[in-house]
Amino acid sequence: MADAVKGLMDRITNDDPETRGQQLWVMFALAMFLVATLNWYAYVREPEVIQVRQLLEYKNEVVKVEGTLISWVEDPYSSGDDRVDAIIDDGTGVVESRWYRPGNMPPIGTTVTIMGDVIEYDGRIWIQSLGAGAMEWTSDDLPEVETLAIADVAQDPAAYAGEVIRLTGFIGESIAPDATFTSAYLGDHPNYGNSEHQMHLIIRSAIGEWVEASSKVEVQGMLSYQVRDLRWSLQVQGPEIGVDRNHEVSPPQLDWNAQATWSYQSGQTVTMTGTLANGSDIWRLYGPSGASICLLPSEADRERDRNRSVHNTVETVEGRLLWSESEGGWCIDANEGASPTLINPETPVRLLAMLSADPVGMVADPDATYTLSAYVKYAVEPGVENEEAYFVDAASYTPGWTTVAASIPGPRTVWLETGQNIIANVSVAWDDEDMRIRLVVHDYRLGTTPSARTLLWDDGATQWSYNRDQNVLLNGKATEIDGQWHLVREGSNDSVVLNLQANAVGVDELHLNQSMTWAGRLRQVQSDDGMSLVYTLDQADVLDSDGDRLGDTLEDQIGTSPYSEDSDDDGRTDREQHESAQS
């Protein structure tokens, strides 16, 4: 073998002119073979796994980095690139992976191995990859996800730092389909102002569809402390946000007299009532004071207008509130809204909106009757004839609330609860004494009773006054003082009087001397000496969601379900089993 190779080299290197051309071709072929061999070796050679802090030592080389995926953005510049920018943290630092023609992305918190060229340009360094095999992980690398309530995180956020958690709540603003970076808040109440806790979200990558403000969503991401903003934030990915479509979102009503607040609803689907004026391209809606807003109708709106003109009619329109550069003002756009049309002829105009748009016209015809859908502003006690109430156009406070006084026939046998929906046949009258419009209710029916509101002892008497006459929940220990039951805050002298239900569970032998969650109606009455006002909890008893005469707090302590009378389906109620265990 050695002689053969030696002979070949002798032929290539001899100086015989007759074989010089042949020698050149052989040398060229040999050079190509060597280059191909080196390229093949570079291709099949397993890249070295390095740490992020070592990247500068491997410029223009193919390497692997193993770490935790902490965020990613698809098509970061909205330029149509088939590209994902991912951030990987391996404990020694973080690196950006620019992945072209990517595959599927794993959840945030997954341990991944990325492979690509180390690129350094203008002081920045990243790993550039191509193809679906550039990021690898297995099912064992997926993160363990803990499902929590926002209140759980609020109590001790540092305990969940760097962990992947899952939260359910209500998004505080509308998210556009193509937004690749969004800062928003997740609250525990659909109304932003009523949320007890709010979790800041940093949303990366486009969701692909509009998410309306106050939508109920489920998010999963990594909790981290933002040093720059001095706050905790949850890093989530837009495509992974789950929207609960069973939760109905009510579009806010824009107030003609509060144009300065319209920007708070920017991007949201809104409604507005006024006198409509159609035009060739852009329509306008006019309010009672001459103010107007532009409307961008859909083709369906224009077709309906051609069949039956809507010009100079009072209409309620619905669309997405957007700023128009060409108009230099706000516009309601049907083409960008959840509904394909500005005007839905099957939806009646809300009376409160009509009062806002044309109050003079409504009062001018006192014999006309209307079917009104509204909400009760303050709880109204039964048993009183011709009780005065107030109706509003949303279940809880929103900027631009429309409030109208109403006279309700009585006596009644049930409470009208705060935030409860009411469908009423009414007429509109002018109240000379109070110089205001008043609704006269002829008959009505009530919607679902709202859930009880949780009170906190730390809120104090002033804050409690906003919940007067409402069903509430309050935690404390039932204590008998001078023959009167009180609910006492554990570890303090704070208390409220308990007016117990008949056969109340909370003062029996199983519940006494324990701190429990109590339910009742918060009332404010005069003290015995008539010199002050005190709070009482009427029709009070411990919260018992499943009706098995075991309080929810006690069931949580003993490990049974507060939502099932027979948690283990053995034919015996949870109370029967607990009583047997105590005997």
Of all residues in the chain, the percent with pLDDT exceeding 70 is: 88
82 and 136 co-located in one domain: yes
425 and 364 co-located in one domain: yes
**Is residue 553 predicted with pLDDT exceeding 70?**
yes
Q: Which residues of 315-348 are buried (b: 16+ CB within 10 A; e: fewer)?
A: bbbbbbbbeeeeeeebbbbbebbebebbbeeeee
- The predicted pLDDT at position 477 comes to 92
Domain-embedded: residue 430? yes
> What's the whole-number mean pLDDT along residues 163-186?
89
- The predicted pLDDT at position 276 comes to 86
Domain-embedded: residue 381? yes
Number of domains present in the structure of the chain:
6
The two most distant CA atoms of the chain are separated, in Å, by: 131
- The predicted pLDDT at position 539 comes to 93
Domain-embedded: residue 516? yes
Q: pLDDT-based confidence at 171, cuts 50/70/90?
A: very high
Taking the C-alpha atoms of residue 316 and residue 276, their distance in angstroms, rounded to an integer, is 9
211 and 167 co-located in one domain: yes
Which range marks the domain in which residue 39 is found?
2-44
162 and 212 co-located in one domain: yes
**Is residue 513 predicted with pLDDT exceeding 70?**
yes
Q: What is the pLDDT of residues 94-147, one digit of tens each?
A: 899 999 988 888 888 889 999 989 988 888 899 998 888 888 888 888 888 888
Q: pLDDT-based confidence at 376, cuts 50/70/90?
A: very high
Taking a C-beta distance cutoff of 8 angstroms, is the pair 88, 97 a contact?
A: yes
Supply the pTM of this predicted model.
0.59
Q: What is the pLDDT of residues 219-250, one digit of tens each?
A: 999 998 988 888 999 999 888 899 998 888 88
Domain-embedded: residue 250? no
Domain-embedded: residue 349? no
Beta-bridge partner residues of 200: 185, 233
Helix (H, G, I), strand (E, B) or coil at 479: strand
Beta-bridge partner residues of 428: 439
- The predicted pLDDT at position 9 comes to 54
Domain-embedded: residue 574? no
End-of-domain residue from the set 141, 165, 195? 141
Q: What is the pLDDT of residues 259-270, one digit of tens each?
A: 888 888 888 888
Q: pLDDT-based confidence at 37, cuts 50/70/90?
A: low
In this structure, the strands spanning 146-147 and 181-187 are unpaired
234 and 168 co-located in one domain: yes
Helix (H, G, I), strand (E, B) or coil at 460: helix
429 and 465 co-located in one domain: no
Taking the C-alpha atoms of residue 375 and residue 357, their distance in angstroms, rounded to an integer, is 19
The tally of CA atoms less than 13 A away on the side-chain side of residue 83 is 16
371 and 430 co-located in one domain: yes
89 and 175 co-located in one domain: no
CATH of the domain at 135: 2.40.50.140
Taking the C-alpha atoms of residue 299 and residue 306, their distance in angstroms, rounded to an integer, is 11
End-of-domain residue from the set 219, 243, 267? 243
Beta-bridge partner residues of 216: 170
Q: Which residues contact 471 (CB under 8 A, 6 or more apart)?
A: 417, 449, 450, 452, 453, 519, 520, 521, 522
